[in-house]
Structure 1
């Protein structure tokens, strides 16, 4: 079925990201039911949405570091097993505190997902395929978000919100079994991988050394402006994403007066459009590199333009009067946001030597996902204080505008003593 075994790996990564977003979106979709059952107010729901990111952000870095040390297979297996377990335990929450604790551990377990995926792609794909591979892997995220609403809502309306989380746990353990059986950390560890495919992968890795800095310690990369401002842009991306994922379903119910069933259908549109944008972004940045031969430029231009256009659409969503206009603008905004996804990961892969890819990916992901703590909480307080969502839309858009400008100015090639001549292809 697959001419290259690395595409089996890619399929499993795609399914994992799909499960990841169904699991994490479930609470937001079921928030009206959960809040009514457990007697929770808007501020408490904001804290619960943010509790996920407390554990998640920290373990983005820890998971990436462990992926470098232990290998992505073990880290991903442990992460999926634990987050599936705590997805199931969500069904047994009986108060704000119990749900808060479960969500923190659930989020911590999901933390390694991004960096372990990036490390796996780095090990299994040549440089000229990585942006596409990352884009396809993570395109499962918005697709998961799209199918989560109708599936989870249908289950909840029949069996109650608690049974939804138990079913999600079972799905995660099925994937875990396939991952353990089919995956190894490196292509040469699997007999079914041909010498031709190994040569393709290793050939791409040899070629990419032309654009990397010499091998450095982890601290060198964590101090680089290129890494730090990439993380800032990723923070703005994550702010929009967490705002959309946690509060947009409630916005459709509270402001647009949709019922649960109609909301679950309407909420799928931005996710579907976002999935198209995410997949397209990986091919787009690889094409720009093919035409310009400028690796960093091909990533940077997509981030800057994508975030700017997303910011404009997100901001306008809070001003329009009709539900159709709001859905259209939010969908376009999510589309342009998702176009930038693979570029953050690709900058790390392009810039960092393989023995530090996981840790640096995790560091960037950690900084980005502090937005998951901040965005839902601030949004909850804005809604409670003003009784309106408009300010929250403006704040999300404003952050994206600022970060895109800073990326354009400060994300530059890394410099070290021995690689000045080799950086020509990595120029802006």
Structure 2
């Protein structure tokens, strides 16, 4: 096995753990709200605190990874968020939860931009889309496993200890990563020289200073289109991350077992979508060029997902709504690895900074929909109104792909 695939396996575990910790709050929402006496609007603020912090710290952590390397940054990121995951289990009131989830989000920020740095340094350009698809499929696998693992854990040990155990898992990963991984293939013990040469001659990055001229960023229309696309994209993503459990149980009247199954199905299909999207983009890129290869997957996946969201909100059949929403994840996640592949395409040696900028905009979208969902539902008692809003956002996000040119690199000094 080529050594870079071992590195990808390490990132696979990272992404799986990321979503286990992130989706856990959604899965145990019923228990936390009952224990602490929170309504949906208050719980929306708790969920939004994570998204806001995640957004604010995305760019700084991406820039830091470009400058000092992803080995140290990812170790810090995982240790930080694992600590505050564990401390979430000690929550006593709304204020405590707000602080813990904000600090948790600040810690988790930068995980995916720094994973993109690793891919940019360790993989030839023709493998970038597939490598990104593996990472995001792992995140979806983590989301699929969360209800299957956490709900039995909650029944056995309580929701508080569930957070503690998840925090310990992340700490183990961080220790192993720091001991084993090196930022550059040439520095990695055990890798064959022929693979180092294959990687270094095939990747799109160059050995330049880790400095991104922000004036070039501000003037770059492709990066602005990419950021706005991701902002609207994440309106759909964060419905599943934060509100799907509440939607199925309170909005559709499903029991915990049915809810668990639909959430797991959604993320399982999302894993398939991530793999298909990355592979399809690489295949189309090889045949029709980079621009068509990236754009076709983004437009098709997000456009069809928006339609499924609208149909899910309109149907009165609860089971059909569940299957439609699961299909939404499959379709929208076709575009997810492609978006991060574009960050490498146009960012190159500054891929972490570009990915951080894009993910910053996306997390702001996650923050807005998280807050809006709780407010709309609490004020109207209608759980389907937010789905129509998300459908519109995904449709516009699909069209924005037509403005994104992955062949136009952000200038570097």
TM-score, length of structure 2 as denominator length: 0.95
Instruction: Please state if 1:312 is matched with 2:310.
Output: no
1:106-148 superposed Cα distances (whole Å, 9 cap, x missing partner): 0111111110000010011010101111110121111111110
- Asked whether the 8 Å contact 2:294–2:406 carries over to 1, the reply is no
- The separation in 1 between residues aligned to 2:236 and 2:411, in whole angstroms, is 38
1:317-337 superposed Cα distances (whole Å, 9 cap, x missing partner): 111122221121111111011
Counterpart for residue 169 of structure 1: 167
1:255-305 superposed Cα distances (whole Å, 9 cap, x missing partner): 22222233222321111011000011110000001111x112211111111
- Asked whether the 8 Å contact 1:225–1:411 carries over to 2, the reply is no
- The separation in 2 between residues aligned to 1:370 and 1:216, in whole angstroms, is 22
Q: CA RMSD in A?
A: 1.8
Would you say how many aligned residue pairs link Structure 1 and Structure 2?
408
- The separation in 2 between residues aligned to 1:279 and 1:160, in whole angstroms, is 34
- Asked whether the 8 Å contact 2:222–2:403 carries over to 1, the reply is no
- Asked whether the 8 Å contact 1:60–1:114 carries over to 2, the reply is no
| Change in 2 beyond 3 A, CA 1:389/1:54 | same
Alignment of 1:10-21 (within 5 A): 10-21=8-19
- The separation in 2 between residues aligned to 1:133 and 1:393, in whole angstroms, is 31
- Asked whether the 8 Å contact 2:290–2:407 carries over to 1, the reply is no
- The separation in 2 between residues aligned to 1:274 and 1:149, in whole angstroms, is 15
TM-score, length of structure 1 as denominator length: 0.92
Instruction: Please state if 1:201 is matched with 2:199.
Output: yes
| Change in 2 beyond 3 A, CA 1:353/1:416 | closer
Instruction: Please state if 1:386 is matched with 2:384.
Output: no
Which structure 2 segments of 5+ residues have no match? Answer: none
Alignment of 1:49-128 (within 5 A): 49-128=47-126
- The separation in 2 between residues aligned to 1:182 and 1:370, in whole angstroms, is 34
- The separation in 2 between residues aligned to 1:321 and 1:150, in whole angstroms, is 27
Work out which of the residue numbers 240, 261, 264 in structure 2 matches 1:265. 261
- Asked whether the 8 Å contact 1:224–1:414 carries over to 2, the reply is no
Which structure 1 segments of 5+ residues have no match? Answer: 210-214, 419-428
Counterpart for residue 219 of structure 1: 215
Counterpart for residue 298 of structure 1: 293
Counterpart for residue 330 of structure 2: 335
Work out which of the residue numbers 30, 33, 36 in structure 1 matches 2:31. 33
Counterpart for residue 422 of structure 1: none
Instruction: Please state if 1:278 is matched with 2:268.
Output: no
| Change in 2 beyond 3 A, CA 1:410/1:126 | closer
- Asked whether the 8 Å contact 1:225–1:412 carries over to 2, the reply is no
SS in 2 for 1:92: coil
- The separation in 2 between residues aligned to 1:204 and 1:400, in whole angstroms, is 34
